[in-house]
Amino acid sequence: MLLDPTFELVDKQSRNEELCCYHFENADIRCDHVQEKQETVVLKTAIRAILPEQVYDTLRRAKQNFMTRRFSSYVSEHNYGGYRLKVLIADPIGAEWYDHDESAMPEIDELKRFDLTGKTVFDLGAHQCVIAMLLAQLTGKAGRVIAVEANAHNHKVSLQNLATNQFDNVTCVHGLVSSGKLDIAIDGGLNGRARRADSTTPKLKVLTIDDMTQLYGAPGLVLLDIEGHEIEALSAATETLKDPHCHWLVELHGDADLADYGHKNSDIFKFFPTTLFKPVILDTKAGHFLPLAPQDLPHERCHIVFERIA
């Protein structure tokens, strides 16, 4: 997710237990004690190594249902990158990511360099449509945002957020963005990831990026944040990538996650040659984007804007 989740937990006594439950599944969120975080990561990795994927996925689905059903939903109003929004907080991830002001949003600030007024924007991996609503501020009412979210719970929350804030120019589609070449489904986590499907896996509508371009028209910007499935999805974006007026913001999830589909971070430059695109990468310490040379691409998670230059 684009919003940086690394902040101190909001001290709300009635929700402390719910938020604490969240840490086991999301060990990348900062814990109060480094040792606690390390132990959680080790435990999570060990469990995944022992359990078959289908069993682990079933447990994650059960945990998601338990956490969302026992969570006391509420609406919270905050400033996100200079825009005030009312956001439904319906689960622990939403509380961690959205129940606080987020004045510094370098990704949104970077995208302001582009004139997106009246343009179509694709937000692929939209979570609960907070970023989609911010993108709609950049397109104006003459433009539109087509958001795609695979997790059913997040999609439902998205629709509520769009209605509450009266964003008529944002459409949220319940589906999974991929290449169309693999039999895949969404896993059971609150921040779900694509995984290979089997006969027992609930199926989802699969969209390719080129499918979306045919359905909704050429985008001026594509935001791609699909939890390690981004390279696979780009392999079915051939026509969209040819558009000389389309910029891209891609969250690469690191070699370890991309390896599930036989990919790695450096594969990104197969789709974004530097003769056609100018890449800049988010320096998380500095809080802004810097020029990126292909040989300097990290192996870990990172955010890259590819500005179309030719």
Helix (H/G/I), strand (E/B), else coil: 10: coil
Work out the pLDDT band at 34, boundaries 50, 70, 90: very low
Q: Helix 16-25 and helix 53-70: axis angle, to 10°?
A: 170
**Cβ–Cβ under 8 Å, residues 11 and 140:** no
Mean pLDDT is lowest, of 11-20, 106-115, 149-158, for: 11-20
The per-residue pLDDT for range 95-120, each reduced to its tens digit, is 999 999 999 999 999 999 999 999 99
Q: Is residue 82 in a domain?
A: no
Same domain, yes or no: 19 and 62:
yes
Work out the pLDDT band at 58, boundaries 50, 70, 90: low
Residue ranges making up the domain that contains 119: 104-308
Give me the amino acid identity at 47: I
Q: How far apart are alpha carbons 276 and 255 in whole angstroms? A: 24
In sequence order, which residues have a C-beta less than 8 Å from that of residue 154 and are 6 or more positions away?
126, 127, 128, 190, 192
CATH (domain of 179): 3.40.50.150
| Ramachandran class of 39: left when φ > 0, alpha when ψ lies in -120 to 50, beta otherwise | alpha
Mean pLDDT is lowest, of 31-45, 47-61, 152-166, 217-231, for: 31-45
**How many domains is the chain built from?**
2
Give me the mean pLDDT over the 26-53 stretch.
Answer: 54
Distances in whole angstroms, Cα of residue 139 to Cα of each of 52, 112, 117, 136: 45, 10, 4, 5
Same domain, yes or no: 197 and 58:
no
Q: Helix 34-50 and helix 16-25: axis angle, to 10°?
A: 60
Same domain, yes or no: 17 and 149:
no
- Output phi, psi for 266, to 5 deg: -65, -15
Q: pTM, whole model, 2 decimals?
A: 0.80
Q: Give residue 37's Cα distance to chain centre.
A: 22
Give me the mean pLDDT over the 70-99 stretch.
Answer: 96
Same domain, yes or no: 116 and 211:
yes
Same domain, yes or no: 48 and 157:
no
Mean pLDDT is lowest, of 45-54, 87-96, 111-120, 250-259, for: 45-54
Same domain, yes or no: 151 and 284:
yes
Q: Is residue 94 in a domain?
A: no
Task: Please tell me what DSSP assigns to residue 9.
Answer: P
pLDDT at 14: 45
What is the Cα gyration radius of the chain? 19
